[in-house]
Structure 1
Amino acid sequence: MTEYSHAPEPLGVPTRRAAIRLIDAVLRRGESIEAALPAATRMVHGPDRGLAHAIAAETLRRLPDLDALIDGATARPLPPDAKARTALRIALVQALVLGTPPHAAIATVLPLVEGGPRRLVHGVFGTLMRGGATLPTLPALPEAVAERWRAAWGETMVEAAQAAIAAPPPLDLTLADPSATEQWSATLGGTSLMPGHVRLTGDHAPVTELPGFAEGAWWVQDVAASLPARAIGAGRGHALDLCAAPGGKTMQLAAAGWQVTAVDQSNNRLKRLRENLHRTRLKAQVVQVNLLDWAPAAPADAVLIDAPCSATGIFRRHPDVLHRVHPTLVAELAELQARILLRAADWVKPGGTLVYATCSLEPAEGEAQIEALLRDRDNFVLKDDTPGRILPGHIAGGNDGFFIASLARKN
């Protein structure tokens, strides 16, 4: 019996193949990079998995500009889903953004189009490199996204979003003990925008190796994501944290003195929440359940809803949302948010606080939800100190996009 074996692929090619699979999962199937990562990178390991992620993420971050370069160097436009186009995208992003030498960038891509338009890919890449191709300082947003955000927030916001996606986001930390802000800012070499917050910029050690991580003195949380729990403040009563995982807001509430019940449907995400609670030595009751099938035993003093949403506000770290989120998905999620919000409103004690938040830049997932709630429930009033809509660039040094509304239930 004859045995056949396949020669191993040239060094670096499996990593680029994994990157193409990630891009394909986002653009063709609407998956997030994180959801697609295990399957797409099953043949690569260690640092190569991280490199595949980086190539895919930077390609998606720069996609309109990469396509403009490619279209300017081809006689006839390549189909959007052509393998030759994707191969050129990842070769160009390596050479123009990630610092890969051009000869290595193209050499690791050409085997991916073996038996196909190899000469085309090689020729277009060579033409662009010899012509001194560059990418704009501010990446272009996908036109559909730019139009949607321009209509909702204006041209200034679109420009701020372009600036936000161009710059590596800082690392924001929330402290378990806000009174130690000055101490941890000095120890970590960071700056603070408010009590209980430290921001690190530039190069720093891996998160797990930073001072204070092992003893649970802080956790990673974008500064905008910390504002919903800050809107509730300190307390000694019962607080519900709904859609709670991975637990940043749960830990904030527990550290502020609340007795917290953290509710989420995802077992994997709740595993991370439990790990975070263990590391920080903070306590909360954890419940895995679909919110639409559950109700607390009694109303709570405070209810925080970090509702499932399109997550378009976190595009700086997750540029895939710019390409996989569309109006139909936003509408579907808005309908789910409305059901959750109306249901959870009944779980607030008279005199209690309801905070609704989404990491979205879509009005349907923010302002429209609160307007509908106030029409349907006349026993709630919007607090004057509500942070409201937080757009890119609202916080010095950068922030995720968020919507936050704080409401009081009347007696």
Structure 2
Amino acid sequence: MNDSKKNKKPSKPSDNRSKPAPSRDGGAPSKPGLEVRATAAKLLAAVVDRKISLDGMLDLTHGNPAYKTLRDADRALARAILTTALRYLPRLEAAVASLIETPLPEGARALHHVLVIAAAQILHLDVPSHAAVDLAVEQANRDPRNRRFAKLVNAVLRRLVREKDEVLTATAAVSPVPGWFQERLAAIYGEAEARRIAEAQLVPAGIDLTVKSDPALWAEKLDGKVLPTGSIRLAAFEGAVSGLEGFSEGVWWVQDAAASIPAQLFGDLKGKRIADLCAAPGGKTAQLIAAGACVTAVEQSANRLARLKENLARLGLEADLVGGDLFNFRPDELLDGVLLDAPCSSTGTTRRHPDVLWTKGPEDIAKLAALQEKMLRHAVTLVKPGGLIVFSNCSLDSSEGEDLVVRVLKDHPGLERVAVDPKDWPGLETAISPIGEFRTTPAMLPGDQKFVGGMDGFFASVIRLAGNAERSV
């Protein structure tokens, strides 16, 4: 529920070419724009080579020092370059490789990232190509490791500018996601759908809002449209969402359309006692409260719990907030339901977080799936007979969804899957499996000239504890 998010038009980052900035080594002032490109290259290296999350490095309080020293406009440009480079990385690497006769030495990773950052600008961003070339050459000249390659950088990038259309055509068949992930997508969804999902992550996500009531009215007020989930999708606009009508009154909150689905799967919640076990930042908690539930929100992180409290206060909603490990959470009375939106690999959110596929791998998915299964088994012990558990996450991988649920149901004959009826979800029928589980992907929901298409990849399953069942799993 990121209320500070901005919905910028993504294709027109500005190249702020103001007065030269002093160099960090105390020497001659840097060329305008050089520090932006140098920072982008360093952060790209941190993501790809050291598996460091981009969100953390872009945090203005605890993030990367080089990024924090940039001015606002330069930070925006650095973010645009970085996210574009990460979205298109395999294609950019293929483009650069196709123009170099002899592969770069294995130790030339810094040079590799300089070339990728420049290629991202030349092929996919609305910044002057000559600036991308000149600044990449300057980066090479200023780095003792890369100085001997400065002429190569110049030649390769100038050729890329000349042959842009041909290179884009030649690399279009390259999957824009890492090979390991493309293979997993193909195994789960089939080759054709895997390709559609991979291509969908190239388009930055729009902004969706969840409203307390009357989405049609607020869609009209905010120049948005109502999605099959009941969410409102906004058209592109300049500025912060906090400036939109209804924000200060707590009428709505930012939440991807797919993320709004799990809380709706409980059905009638009036007067029901529900626990949200991984509650922050609070979008699903707010949905449960707005639907009439008495909610206990559990969150382990103190910082995230504070953020959850702030978000609920803005919305004028109240919940019983519990800080601590969810495995230690034991309600005084068994609950009517539990929402477990479990921590996962987040592979369904790459439209927003393109670094995810480069900072995680198969081993991370396996570890997170094991944790999720442990959490789900604990959640079962918290509900009374007849109670519901909605298990969900934003992964596209079946090992974190369908496969996990099958194991838990097999081990516990007192549990049963409650099938979601596609008739209740017009417009999203294809997102519901034959056995009644939700599986959304970024390739769902077509866009148009005004509204971006797609939604986060999400899995959700509804499980009921039978009336005479044992609760330990």
> What TM-score, normalized to structure 1?
0.93
- Structure 2 residue corresponding to 1:151, chosen from 183, 187, 212: 187
- Structure 1 residue corresponding to 2:324, chosen from 276, 289, 296: 289
Q: Give the CA deviation at 1:183.
A: 0.9
- Structure 2 residue corresponding to 1:390, chosen from 426, 431, 440: 440
Decide whether the 8 Å contact of 1:174 with 1:198 is kept in 2.
yes
| 1:201 aligned partner | 235
CA distance in 2, matches of 1:42, 1:185: 36
Decide whether the 8 Å contact of 1:309 with 1:333 is kept in 2.
yes
State the SS of the aligned residue for 1:236: coil
Decide whether the 8 Å contact of 2:223 with 2:235 is kept in 1.
no
CA distance in 2, matches of 1:43, 1:80: 28
| 1:217 aligned partner | 251
Decide whether the 8 Å contact of 1:354 with 1:406 is kept in 2.
yes
| 1:14 aligned partner | 35
Decide whether the 8 Å contact of 1:299 with 1:347 is kept in 2.
yes
- Structure 2 residue corresponding to 1:185, chosen from 219, 222, 240: 219
- Structure 2 residue corresponding to 1:57, chosen from 83, 89, 96: 83
Do the aligned partners of residues 174 and 406 (structure 1) sit closer, same or farther apart at CA in structure 2, a change above 3 Å counting?
same
Q: Where do 5+ consecutive residues of structure 2 fail to align?
A: 1-24, 421-435, 447-452, 468-473
Q: Give the CA deviation at 1:122.
A: 1.4
Q: Give the CA deviation at 1:108.
A: 2.7
Could you tell me the percent identity over the aligned residues?
39
| 2:413 aligned partner | 378
Do the aligned partners of residues 196 and 283 (structure 1) sit closer, same or farther apart at CA in structure 2, a change above 3 Å counting?
farther
Q: Give the CA deviation at 1:126.
A: 1.0
| 1:132 aligned partner | 164
Superposed counterparts of 1:9-408, under 5 Å:
9-37=30-58, 38-39=63-64, 41-78=67-104, 79=106, 82-113=109-140, 114=142, 115=144, 116=146, 117-133=149-165, 134-135=167-168, 140-177=176-213, 180-194=214-228, 196-203=230-237, 205-233=239-267, 234-385=269-420, 386-396=436-446, 397-408=453-464
Higher mean C-alpha deviation, range 223-232 or range 186-195:
186-195
Decide whether the 8 Å contact of 2:277 with 2:341 is kept in 1.
yes
Give the letter aligned to residue 36 of structure 1.
Answer: M
Decide whether the 8 Å contact of 1:181 with 1:195 is kept in 2.
no
Do the aligned partners of residues 351 and 371 (structure 1) sit closer, same or farther apart at CA in structure 2, a change above 3 Å counting?
same
Do the aligned partners of residues 57 and 181 (structure 1) sit closer, same or farther apart at CA in structure 2, a change above 3 Å counting?
same
Decide whether the 8 Å contact of 2:229 with 2:261 is kept in 1.
no
Give the letter aligned to residue 166 of structure 1.
Answer: L
Give the letter aligned to residue 345 of structure 2.
Answer: S
Give the letter aligned to residue 408 of structure 1.
Answer: R
CA distance in 2, matches of 1:76, 1:325: 30
Decide whether the 8 Å contact of 2:137 with 2:150 is kept in 1.
yes
CA distance in 2, matches of 1:127, 1:224: 42
Give the letter aligned to residue 271 of structure 1.
Answer: A
Q: Give the CA deviation at 1:204.
A: 5.1
> What TM-score, normalized to structure 2?
0.82
Q: Give the CA deviation at 1:24.
A: 1.6
Decide whether the 8 Å contact of 2:176 with 2:199 is kept in 1.
no
Give the letter aligned to residue 388 of structure 2.
Answer: T
Q: Deviations over 1:15-52 (max 9, x none)?
A: 22221222122112212210222125132232222221
Do the aligned partners of residues 86 and 190 (structure 1) sit closer, same or farther apart at CA in structure 2, a change above 3 Å counting?
same
State the SS of the aligned residue for 2:443: coil
State the SS of the aligned residue for 1:174: strand
| 2:22 aligned partner | none
Higher mean C-alpha deviation, range 250-259 or range 232-241:
232-241
Do the aligned partners of residues 166 and 195 (structure 1) sit closer, same or farther apart at CA in structure 2, a change above 3 Å counting?
closer
What's the C-alpha RMSD, in Å, of the aligned pairs? 2.0
Decide whether the 8 Å contact of 2:45 with 2:110 is kept in 1.
no
CA distance in 2, matches of 1:379, 1:18: 55
CA distance in 2, matches of 1:248, 1:147: 33
State the SS of the aligned residue for 2:339: strand
CA distance in 2, matches of 1:298, 1:14: 58
Do the aligned partners of residues 80 and 132 (structure 1) sit closer, same or farther apart at CA in structure 2, a change above 3 Å counting?
farther
CA distance in 2, matches of 1:34, 1:58: 15
CA distance in 1, matches of 2:389, 2:380: 7
